[in-house]
C-alpha cells in the first residue's frame, strides 16, 4: 500500500475526500497533534501496530497502579452510569497512557476492542496517533478528539474526551477518558471528565503531611470545601503541593511548587478566614487550616517531590500481609517445602488470602530475587492457555506474535510459579503440565526441542481437589504430584481475630491519615458480619468507606452497607480479577453509601452529595436509576 504520511493539510484533504466537504478544520490541539504524528512518519491510512501487554505484564501494571485505580474508583463508578446510558466507556490509563480499565456499554466495548481500545494496550500518541488519551498526555490538559479527528482512519468510529489526573506536584498520575461512538454527540463528556478529575485531585490533597497548613480558596465562598476550590499546601511559607485551581487563582504555574509564593498576594497566613486577592487584584475568599491530627499508625509514604507525600499513589508498594501466628507457622513450613523442591497446594474460599500466602512464601524463600509469576487458570481462555503457559514458536498459529513467546512457565525461571484456580485447568492440559513438572522441561507450541525449566510451585484452589479426582474431573497423577502438602486457609467468619483484623485493615486505608475513624459500634458490626468474600470483601468495604468519608468524620452504623450494619450476611463479591462483577460490588457499596448519606442529612440532596464528594446531579441520577431498577 502507498504510504500516506503527510502534513495536516493533506490529511484534512483526505478526510474531506472520504467523508465529504463538510469535515470542519480541527481545533489547534488536534492540528498540532497531526503535525507531531506526521513528523513521526505515522501512516494514517493503516492500522497502528500495537502489541498488547501479556497477562504477566498486565498483572504487574495493575500492581503498580493499584492505588491509582482505588483512588479513582468513586468517580469511575459515577461516570460508569453515564457511559452506560450514552452507549460509551469510561477508561482509566496509567501515567504513560496504558489502558488499565474500561467500564461501560458492553456492545460498544466490543467494537472499541476491535480498534484495540481495551485494557493492556498503550494509547500514547506516538503509537496510536491523535487520540484523546495520548494527546491529553502531551498537551497536559483536557482534550476532545471526535471521529475523523483521530489520526488513524480505523479510530474514526470513536469520540473521546480525556483529561490528565495531576498529583500535588503537577506530575501526571494517569488519564481519565470517556469514549463513545462517533455517531452520537457526546456534548457533556469533557465536562463530566473534568468534574471527576477535579474530585480525584481534590481527594489526593486530603492526605496532608503532619505539620503542614492548607489554604483553600475560591472567588465564590459557597464553593469553598468543594472539589472546585483551589488548594495550596504549605510547609512554613513554602508551597509543597497544590491543585490546578489553586495555582490558577493565584496566577501561578507548577514551578511554584517548592517556592515561597503567597506573601506577595497579601496572605497573613494566620489560621482562619483570609482576605486575599487573585492575580488580577480581585477579591478571593480563603481559609487557612492548621495541621491535621497526625496519622494513627501509618508510616509517612514516599514523597512525589521533597516535602509532599502522595499516599498510595507515588509509592504504592505491596503492604506486608497480616498473618496470625497459626498462618505464620503454615507459611514457615511451606517455605521449607518449596525450598526442598516440594510443591504446595493452598486451599480456601475466595478472598481468604491464597495468593497473598503464595507471595509471602516467595518473599521469604531463597528464590525471592527471581520472578513470582501468578497464573489464574480460570481466567485464561482454553484456546490460549496452552500457548500462555508453555510458550510458542514464531508462526505457531494465526495471530501469534512475530517472535514467538516464552510462556509463563519459562518466565518463572529461577523463581516461583503460582497456579491459581488449578481445579479449573482443562483436563486436556493437565497431562502436559504433569509432564513439564516431572521432566522439568517444556515444549513450546509448534516447537520440537524441549527447554529446561526450574521453578518452585504453589497451586491454589477453592475447590475440593480430592473430590474432583474421585469424580474424574482432575487427574489423579497430577493431584499426587502437586499436592503432597496442603495448606487450608480459614474463612474469615471462622477467625477469632476478626476485630483485630478490622483495625489492621482500616489502618491501611486513607481513613486514619484524614482523621476519619470508625465508631466502636461500627467496628463491632464490621467484625461481626459474615463476609462471604472474606478478607478481600472486608478490605474493599473499608477502602470504600474511607474513600467516601469526609476528613475528620467518625463513621457509625449508618455509613455501613446494608446487611453489614445488621450483622447479616453481606453478599459475596466475585473475585477481584474479574472486572464486571467487581464493578457491580462497588456499585452496591456506592448505592448503600448514597442511601446512608441521604438518611444522615435528612434527605437533603445537596448536603448528602457534598458529604460524598459528588455532584447533586450525580446523586439524583444514581438514586433515580436505582428506583427505576427496583420498579
Ligand X SMILES: Nc1ncnc2c1ncn2[C@@H]1O[C@H](COP(=O)(O)OP(=O)(O)OP(=O)(O)O)[C@@H](O)[C@H]1O
Point out which residues bind ligand X (CB under 6 A).
321-323, 348, 350-356, 420, 460, 462, 535-536, 539, 575
Q: In angstroms, give the least distance from the CB of 582 to ligand X.
A: 11
Pick from 85, 190, 195: nearest CA to 145: 190
Report the nearest approach of ligand X to the CB of residue 524 (Å): 20
Q: Which CB, 472 or 496, lies closer to ligand X? A: 496
Question: Which residue's CB is nearer to ligand X, number 15 or number 354?
Answer: 354
Q: Is 48 helix (H, G, I), strand (E, B) or coil?
A: coil
Whether 182 contacts 159, CB under 8 Å: yes
Cell of 138: 502531551
Q: How far is the CB of 283 from ligand X (least distance, A)?
A: 47
Residue 494 Cβ, how far from ligand X at the closest point, in Å?
A: 14
Q: How far is the CB of 577 from ligand X (least distance, A)?
A: 7
Give residue number: closest CB to ligand X: 353
Residue reference for cell 497502528: 48
Residue whose C-alpha cell is 499546601: 233
Q: What cell was used for 531?
A: 463476609
In whole angstroms, the minimum distance from the beta carbon of 570 to ligand X comes to 15
122 or 371: whose CB is closer to ligand X?
371
**Cα–Cα separations (whole angstroms), residue 566 to 198, 315, 495, 584:** 35, 37, 19, 21
- For residues 391 and 381, give the distance between their C-alpha atoms in angstroms, rounded to a whole number: 15
Q: Which is nearer to ligand X, 380 or 535 (CB)?
A: 535
For ligand X, give the closer residue by CB, 78 or 338.
338
Quick one: 6 exposed, middle or buried, by C-beta within 10 A (0-12, 13-18, 19+)?
middle
Q: Are 175 and 136 in contact (CB under 8 A)?
A: yes
Q: Contact at 8 Å (CB) between 378 and 421?
A: yes
Min dist. Cβ of residue 458 to ligand X (A): 11
> Starting at the edge strand that comes first in sequence, how are the strands of the sheet with 158-166 ordered?
99-104, 89-93, 172-181, 158-166, 143-146
Residue among 56 and 163 whose Cβ is closer to ligand X: 56
- Name the residue nearer to ligand X (CB basis): 535 or 614: 535
Nearer to ligand X, 86 or 352 (CB): 352
Choice between 35 and 324, CB closer to ligand X: 324
Nearer to ligand X, 70 or 80 (CB): 70
* Grid cell in block for residue 13: 484533504
Instruction: Give, in order, the Cα–Cα distances in Å from 232 to each of 80, 224, 279, 287.
Output: 30, 13, 15, 11
Coil, helix or strand for 629? Answer: helix
Cα Rg for the chain, rounded, in angstroms?
Answer: 26
Dist. CA 351–CA 373, nearest whole Å? 19
Q: Please report how close the Cβ of residue 377 comes to ligand X at its closest, in angstroms.
A: 11
Minimum Å distance from CB 350 to ligand X?
Answer: 4
CB of 543: closest distance to ligand X in angstroms?
Answer: 9
Of 121 and 483, nearer to ligand X (C-beta) is 483
Nearest to 288 by CA among 202, 346, 352, 230: 230
Whole-number minimum distance, CB 406 to ligand X, in Å? 24
Alpha carbon separation from 137 to 33, 38, 217 (Å, rounded): 11, 18, 27
What distances in angstroms separate CA 567 from CA 523, 525, 532, 540, 561, one per listed residue? 11, 6, 13, 17, 11
Amino acid at each position: 500500500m502507498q504510504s500516506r504520511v503527510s502534513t495536516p493539510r493533506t490529511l484534512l484533504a483526505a478526510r474531506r475526500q472520504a467523508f465529504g466537504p463538510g469535515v470542519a478544520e480541527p481545533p489547534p490541539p488536534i492540528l498540532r497533534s497531526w503535525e507531531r504524528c506526521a513528523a513521526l512518519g505515522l501512516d494514517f491510512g493503516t492500522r497502528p501496530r500495537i502489541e498488547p501487554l501479556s497477562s504477566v505484564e498486565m498483572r504487574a501494571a495493575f500492581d503498580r497502579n493499584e492505588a491509582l485505580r482505588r483512588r479513582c474508583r468513586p468517580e469511575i463508578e459515577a461516570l460508569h452510569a453515564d457511559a452506560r446510558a450514552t452507549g460509551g466507556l469510561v477508561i482509566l490509563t496509567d501515567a504513560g497512557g496504558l489502558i488499565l480499565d474500561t467500564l461501560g456499554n458492553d456492545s460498544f466495548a466490543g467494537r472499541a476492542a476491535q480498534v484495540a481500545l481495551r485494557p493492556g494496550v498503550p494509547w500514547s500518541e506516538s503509537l496510536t496517533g491523535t487520540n484523546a488519551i495520548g494527546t491529553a498526555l502531551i498537551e497536559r490538559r483536557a482534550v476532545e478528539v471526535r471521529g475523523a479527528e483521530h489520526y488513524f482512519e480505523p479510530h474514526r468510529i470513536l469520540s473521546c474526551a480525556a483529561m490528565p489526573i495531576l498529583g500535588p506536584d503537577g506530575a501526571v498520575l494517569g488519564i481519565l477518558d470517556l469514549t463513545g461512538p462517533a455517531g452520537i454527540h457526546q456534548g457533556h463528556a469533557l465536562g463530566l471528565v473534568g468534574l471527576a478529575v477535579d474530585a480525584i485531585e481534590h481527594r489526593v490533597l486530603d492526605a496532608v503531611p503532619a505539620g503542614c497548613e492548607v489554604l483553600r480558596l475560591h472567588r465564590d465562598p459557597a464553593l469553598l470545601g468543594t472539589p472546585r476550590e483551589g488548594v495550596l499546601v504549605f510547609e512554613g511559607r513554602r508551597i509543597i503541593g497544590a491543585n490546578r485551581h489553586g495555582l490558577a487563582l493565584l496566577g501561578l504555574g507548577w514551578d511554584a511548587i517548592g517556592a515561597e509564593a503567597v506573601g506577595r498576594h497579601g496572605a497573613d497566613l494566620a489560621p482562619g478566614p483570609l482576605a486575599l486577592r487573585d492575580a488580577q487584584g480581585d477579591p478571593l475568599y480563603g481559609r487557612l487550616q492548621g495541621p491535621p491530627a497526625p496519622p494513627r499508625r501509618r508510616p509517612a509514604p514516599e514523597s512525589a517531590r521533597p516535602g509532599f507525600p502522595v499516599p498510595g499513589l507515588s509509592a504504592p508498594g505491596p503492604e506486608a500481609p497480616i498473618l496470625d501466628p497459626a498462618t505464620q507457622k503454615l507459611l514457615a513450613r511451606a517455605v521449607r517445602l518449596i525450598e526442598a523442591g516440594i510443591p504446595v497446594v493452598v486451599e480456601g474460599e475466595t478472598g481468604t488470602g491464597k495468593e497473598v500466602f503464595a507471595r509471602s512464601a516467595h518473599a521469604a524463600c531463597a528464590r525471592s530475587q527471581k520472578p513470582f509469576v501468578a497464573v489464574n487458570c480460570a481466567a485464561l481462555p482454553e484456546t490460549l492457555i496452552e500457548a500462555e503457559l508453555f510458550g510458542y514458536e514464531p508462526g505457531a498459529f494465526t495471530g501469534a506474535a512475530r517472535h514467538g513467546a516464552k510462556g509463563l512457565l519459562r518466565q518463572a525461571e529461577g523463581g516461583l510459579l503460582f497456579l491459581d484456580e488449578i481445579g479449573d485447568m482443562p483436563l486436556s492440559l493437565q497431562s502436559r503440565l504433569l509432564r513439564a513438572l516431572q521432566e522439568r522441561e517444556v515444549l513450546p507450541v509448534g516447537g520440537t526441542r524441549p527447554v529446561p525449566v526450574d521453578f518452585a510451585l504453589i497451586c491454589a484452589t477453592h475447590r475440593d481437589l480430592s473430590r474432583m479426582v474421585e469424580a474424574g474431573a482432575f487427574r489423579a497423577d497430577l493431584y499426587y504430584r502437586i499436592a503432597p502438602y496442603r495448606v487450608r486457609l480459614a474463612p474469615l467468619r471462622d477467625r477469632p481475630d476478626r476485630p483485630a483484623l478490622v483495625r489492621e485493615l482500616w489502618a491501611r486505608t486513607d481513613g486514619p491519615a484524614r482523621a476519619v475513624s470508625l465508631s466502636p459500634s461500627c467496628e463491632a458490626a464490621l467484625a461481626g458480619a459474615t463476609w462471604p468474600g472474606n478478607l478481600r470483601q472486608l478490605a474493599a468495604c473499608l477502602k470504600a468507606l474511607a474513600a467516601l468519608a469526609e476528613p475528620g468524620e467518625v463513621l457509625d452504623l449508618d455509613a455501613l452497607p446494608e446487611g453489614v450494619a445488621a450483622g447479616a450476611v453481606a453478599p459475596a463479591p466475585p473475585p477481584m480479577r474479574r472486572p464486571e462483577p467487581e464493578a457491580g460490588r462497588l456499585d452496591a457499596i456506592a448505592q448503600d453509601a448514597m442511601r446512608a448519606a441521604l438518611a444522615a442529612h435528612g434527605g437533603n440532596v445537596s448536603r448528602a452529595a457534598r458529604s460524598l464528594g459528588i455532584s447533586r446531579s450525580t446523586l439524583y441520577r444514581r438514586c433515580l436509576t436505582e428506583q427505576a431498577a427496583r420498579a
